[in-house]
């Protein structure tokens, strides 16, 4: 049976949220699917966004809560897509529900269960800094604000007796009878929709321990996302940047661009200037908060192609942030416990050694871990250049695909900043709506 009033949006990041919001405004019924326990995606973990330096969560949270309150939108989180069949106007998407071990209809997000849980584990949302409990709400502003139990960390998984969360929950929301069985029909459900929008985003390059400037071996070499969490007000340090090695505030910080990108041995493509701007943004924020800090940015080229980028770059130079053109060859720890960056300064024509107290690696975008599986299910080809979804035409049909009725938006189709991701979310929603309306004509 043809369904021209429902759309499935896969991915609850900013592009998916925007697409779902636009479709809801147009009167469509929207299923927003997210593999994590809460929506928000990468934007939820950012401190501030370039080039306006506004709080990321202050912009994102109202959009999430407004979307969740709409009657024609169903947020379906903590699920995996296991099958897709059909065609435009008649898609059937089979999803598998991962067990929360918490009844989402009863949980109020009061966090009492978290207060009494005896288990602590590294906080994944904070990039491993700080801890969270075996039962947790992913982050302070999470939507939905519903707890989930990491059963692998729970004492019960090891055979120990523990009823701490059960006894603390006055709403009887804890449910250890939930289980995930791939061949149990109770854990799966089917959705019918006329169109599909894929907005699953991308992943961030994971530096190789010992190979990428000492990351994983030198405590004070961190990634851009780790820097974001260390400087975020809701992060593990309350927004104060400290060195992981000794908890001191660094006075000299080096930012290295293009780590894992523009490298024929790893990823030859550029991440669209996003990592350039992220490092510039973070250096500006650090310099504005602590003017006495000396910041260095090591770059191959500054890709300042979009509106506001060049002015942002100029602002950084005016603040005294030092730009050194050249890809560093190594980062080592000296006898003082500081870090030394060895680089050929291609503008000055000399090899330099810069001593800093912290190094931030500007890591680029890479395909998400599920993209090949989704590509096979949706019958959408991936590009040979970056392994992301191929649009029907990069210039005149950037959100359409080879499969009529399936559209793409955001970083799943190539590295993008937030503005471009939002624009593509809106564009994909409009294309889905126009396609379904055409079926009725």
Q: Compute the C-alpha angle 319/324/276, nearest 5°.
A: 70
Domains contained in the chain, number: 3
- Dump pLDDT digits (tens) for 168-222: 999 999 999 886 544 444 589 999 999 999 999 999 999 988 789 999 999 999 9
d(CA 255, CA 71): 45
Q: What are phi and psi of 191, to 5 degrees?
A: -120, 140
Is 103 domain-assigned?
A: no
Q: Check whether residue 279 and residue 211 sit in a common domain.
A: yes
- Long-range contacts of the stretch 150-154 (C-beta < 8 A, 24+): 150/121, 151/99, 151/101, 153/119, 153/121, 154/101, 154/119
Is 158 domain-assigned?
A: yes
Distance of CA 64 to the CA centre of its chain: 15
End-to-end CA distance of the chain: give it in Å, rounded: 16
Is 276 domain-assigned?
A: yes
Q: Check whether residue 126 and residue 190 sit in a common domain.
A: no
Task: Say if strands 90-97 and 79-87 run parallel, antiparallel, or are unpaired.
Answer: antiparallel
Do 425 and 409 touch, CB atoms closer than 8 A?
yes
State which residues form the domain around 275: 205-365
| 13-27, 229-243, 256-270: least confident range | 256-270
pLDDT of residue 211: 84
**Residue 367 contacts by C-beta under 8 Å, 6 or more apart in sequence?**
202, 203, 382, 386, 387, 388
Q: What's the predicted TM-score (pTM) here?
A: 0.96
- Dump pLDDT digits (tens) for 294-320: 999 999 999 998 999 999 999 999 999
| Domain boundary residue, one of 316, 350, 365 | 365
| CATH code, domain with 294 | 3.50.50.60
Q: Check whether residue 324 and residue 415 sit in a common domain.
A: no
Q: What are phi and psi of 63, to 5 degrees?
A: -65, -40
Reported confidence tier of residue 264, pLDDT bands at 50, 70, 90? confident
| Domain boundary residue, one of 341, 365, 389 | 365
Is 13 domain-assigned?
A: yes
Q: Please choose, from the candidates 162, 160, 145, 156, the residue with its C-alpha nearest in 3D space to the C-alpha of residue 178.
A: 156
Q: Check whether residue 188 and residue 39 sit in a common domain.
A: yes
| Domain boundary residue, one of 315, 349, 365 | 365
- Dump pLDDT digits (tens) for 89-140: 999 999 999 999 999 999 999 999 999 999 999 999 999 999 999 999 999 9
**Residue 186 contacts by C-beta under 8 Å, 6 or more apart in sequence?**
none
Is 188 domain-assigned?
A: yes
d(CA 63, CA 47): 17
Is 61 domain-assigned?
A: yes
Is 146 a residue whose pLDDT tops 80? yes
Task: Say if strands 330-333 and 252-259 run parallel, antiparallel, or are unpaired.
Answer: unpaired
Question: What are 64's two structure tokens?
Answer: 């999430």
Who has greater pLDDT, 159 or 360?
360
**What is the average pLDDT across 265-270?**
88
Q: Check whether residue 48 and residue 197 sit in a common domain.
A: yes
Length in residues, the chain: 441
Q: Name 407's bridge partners.
A: 197, 400
Q: Check whether residue 189 and residue 230 sit in a common domain.
A: no
Q: Check whether residue 195 and residue 217 sit in a common domain.
A: no
Q: Check whether residue 361 and residue 371 sit in a common domain.
A: no
d(CA 250, CA 400): 47
Reported confidence tier of residue 1, pLDDT bands at 50, 70, 90? low
| 265-269, 320-324, 346-350: least confident range | 265-269
| 169-183, 299-313, 330-344, 424-438: least confident range | 169-183
d(CA 163, CA 142): 25
Is 1 domain-assigned?
A: no
Q: Which residues of 240-264 are buried (b: 16+ CB within 10 A; e: fewer)?
A: ebbbebeeeebeebbbbbbbbbbee
From residue 66, how far is each of 54, 144, 300, 311, 397 by CA, in Å? 20, 12, 42, 33, 30
Q: Check whether residue 229 and residue 330 sit in a common domain.
A: yes
Is 177 domain-assigned?
A: no
Q: Check whether residue 219 and residue 359 sit in a common domain.
A: yes
Question: What are 222's two structure tokens?
Answer: 């961190």
Do 98 and 151 touch, CB atoms closer than 8 A?
no
DSSP one-letter string for 366-424:
E--TTHHHHHHHHT--B-TTTSSBPPSBTTTBTTB-SSTTEEE-GGGGS---HHHHHHH
356 burial via Cβ count (<10 Å: 0-12, 13-18, 19+): buried
Q: Check whether residue 329 and residue 392 sit in a common domain.
A: no
d(CA 145, CA 64): 11
Q: What are phi and psi of 355, to 5 degrees?
A: -90, 125
Q: Check whether residue 313 and residue 238 sit in a common domain.
A: yes
């Amino acid at each position: 049976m043809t369904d021209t009033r429902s759309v499935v949006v896969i991915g609850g990041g900013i592009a998916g949220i925007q697409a779902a919001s636009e479709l809801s405004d147009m009167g469509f019924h929207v299923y927003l699917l997210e593999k994590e326990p809460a929506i928000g995606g990468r934007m939820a973990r950012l401190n501030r966004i370039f080039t306006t330096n506004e709080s990321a969560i202050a912009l994102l949270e109202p959009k999430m809560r407004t979307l969740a309150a709409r009657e024609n939108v169903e947020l379906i989180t903590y699920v995996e897509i296991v099958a897709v069949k059909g065609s435009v106007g008649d898609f059937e998407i089979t999803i598998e529900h991962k067990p929360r071990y918490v009844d989402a209809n009863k949980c109020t997000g009061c966090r009492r269960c978290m207060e009494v849980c005896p288990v602590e584990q590294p906080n994944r949302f904070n990039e491993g800094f700080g801890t969270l409990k075996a039962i947790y709400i992913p982050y302070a502003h999470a939507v939905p604000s519903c707890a989930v139990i990491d059963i692998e960390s729970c004492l019960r998984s090891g055979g120990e007796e523990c009823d701490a969360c059960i006894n603390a929950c006055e709403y009887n929301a804890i449910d250890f009878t939930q289980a995930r069985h791939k061949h149990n029909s109770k854990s799966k459900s089917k959705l019918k929709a006329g169109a599909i929008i894929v907005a699953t985003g991308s992943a961030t390059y994971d530096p190789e321990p010992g190979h990428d400037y000492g990351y994983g071996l030198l405590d004070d070499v961190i990634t851009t996302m780790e820097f974001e969490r260390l400087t975020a007000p809701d992060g593990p340090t309350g927004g104060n940047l400290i060195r992981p090695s000794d908890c001191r505030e660094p006075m000299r910080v080096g930012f290295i661009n293009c780590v894992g990108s523009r490298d024929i041995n790893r990823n030859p493509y550029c991440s669209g200037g996003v990592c350039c701007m992220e490092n510039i943004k973070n250096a500006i924020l650090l310099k504005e908060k602590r003017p006495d800090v000396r910041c260095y940015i090591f770059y191959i080229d500054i890709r300042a192609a979009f509106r506001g980028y060049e002015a942002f770059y100029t602002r950084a130079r005016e603040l005294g942030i030092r730009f050194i053109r050249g890809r560093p060859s190594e980062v080592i720890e000296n006898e003082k416990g500081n870090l030394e960056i060895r680089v050929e300064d291609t503008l000055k024509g000399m090899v330099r050694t810069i001593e800093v107290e912290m190094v931030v690696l500007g890591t680029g975008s890479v395909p998400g871990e599920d993209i090949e599986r989704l590509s096979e299910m949706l019958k959408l080809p991936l590009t040979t250049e970056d392994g992301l979804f191929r649009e029907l035409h990069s210039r005149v049909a950037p959100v359409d695909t080879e499969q009529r009725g399936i559209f793409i938006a955001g970083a799943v189709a190539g590295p993008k900043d937030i503005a471009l991701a939002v624009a593509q979310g809106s564009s994909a929603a409009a294309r889905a709506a126009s396609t379904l309306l055409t079926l009725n004509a």
